[in-house]
Amino acid sequence: MKAIQISEPSVMKVIDIAEPKMGDDEVLLKMKYVGFCGSDLNTFRGGNPMVKMPVVPGHEVGAEIVSVGKNVPEGLKPGMTVTVNPYTNCGKCASCRNGRVNACEHNETLGVQRWGAMCEYIALPWEKVIPAGLLTPRTCALIEPMSVGFHAVSRAQVTDIDVVLVIGCGMVGMGAVVRSVQRGATVVAADIDDEKLALAKEMGASYTINTMTEDVHARLREMTSGFGPDVVIEAVGSTPTYQMAVDEVAFTGRVICIGYAKSEVSFQTKYFVQKELDIRGSRNAQPSDFRAVIHYLERGTCPVDRLISKEVKPEDAETAMNQWAENPGKVFRILVDFQ
């Protein structure tokens, strides 16, 4: 069957691999659409320290069930449209023992530590297959990245009295914007791209800040009567945005870190103590976050078409990735069409 492989930095090609064999506890899926995410871009550019090359990337899935093993529950049937929980959990580490399986110490994400979903068929344990109701496979490819943003909002314990600053308005950041709005918070979206900021406003943000052209500190003080935001969600992964999060959050506020910084970050640690901050990591997503995103998308209010920057066939994936690498700030999601 056809698959996309990244064999080394800047080298992506279509290869032929064997079709998977389905076990008794597994579900065989036909890929319809698979999204390229930021980690795939980092892999392609040679900047993903967690990846094991060569690798078949991809973990943002819209698929159809082809067949099910004999031990699979009746709720999963051939013909159903589904998405995938792409993470593993060992069941034995501290995270798993505490019920936070999304942060498993030994997690292996599809397309990163193990071969992913950029292929025609994949067989997965039935527990990792999530029915998507009436959503189209194309829309399903947006569920996983948005669920990561939803999970960050849960980690932040956002309520309707909070002002939430979301730094970075890519797909994950948009998920954080949407979920914060759903919880009744006042949301401030920050990014360097005005088009993304306009879309964040459309998706419910009350205010936007272009961090390249505006005085972030002054704007936030103006918006919050001098207090600063109660919650800052960092969804970029860079030194300046990490520092911004700690500098701008209100006293006794919560800082939620999603993005992986590519280098060491220096902080004025006095703010940790003086502000009595809660600084929390947010990794991947829980099954409940996937369900919440599906519920949101089923309402039909999400501007799905504007979140999909490009759709390509497998043979054109390398060209699309090169174009993304040249101008990363202008892309939400690239979907590969395996139909």
Q: What angle do CA 227, 230, 234 make, to 5 degrees?
A: 120
* pLDDT tier, 39 (very low <50, low <70, confident <90, very high otherwise): confident
Tens digits of residue pLDDT in 237-265: 999 999 999 999 999 999 999 988 878 89
Amino acid found at 1: M
Reported residue count of the chain is 339
- Shared domain for 14 and 134, answered yes or no, is yes
Does a structural domain hold residue 11?
A: yes
- Shared domain for 86 and 204, answered yes or no, is no
- Mean local confidence (pLDDT), 39-63: 91
87 has a pLDDT exceeding 80:
yes
* pLDDT tier, 47 (very low <50, low <70, confident <90, very high otherwise): confident
Does a structural domain hold residue 297?
A: no
How far apart (Å, rounded) are the C-alpha atoms in residues 324 and 320? 6
- Mean local confidence (pLDDT), 30-38: 95
CATH of the domain at 317: 3.90.180.10
* pLDDT tier, 52 (very low <50, low <70, confident <90, very high otherwise): confident
- Shared domain for 237 and 331, answered yes or no, is no
- Shared domain for 169 and 118, answered yes or no, is no
Question: What domain range includes position 46?
Answer: 2-141+303-337
CATH of the domain at 273: 3.40.50.720
Rounded to the nearest integer, the mean pLDDT of the chain is 95
329 has a pLDDT exceeding 80:
no
- Shared domain for 118 and 10, answered yes or no, is yes
- Asked if omega into 303 is within 30° of 0 (cis), the reply is no
139 has a pLDDT exceeding 90:
yes
pLDDT value of position 110: 95
pLDDT value of position 51: 87
Q: Which residues contact 6 (CB under 8 A, 6 or more apart)?
A: 12, 40, 43, 44, 53, 54, 55, 56, 57
- Shared domain for 91 and 160, answered yes or no, is no
- Shared domain for 46 and 62, answered yes or no, is yes
> What percent of the chain clears pLDDT 70, i.e. is strictly above it?
100
Does a structural domain hold residue 293?
A: no
How far apart (Å, rounded) are the C-alpha atoms in residues 303 and 308? 9
- Shared domain for 173 and 105, answered yes or no, is no
- Shared domain for 157 and 235, answered yes or no, is yes
- Shared domain for 100 and 202, answered yes or no, is no
Tens digits of residue pLDDT in 55-73: 999 999 999 999 999 999 9
- Mean local confidence (pLDDT), 280-284: 97
Domain count, the chain: 2
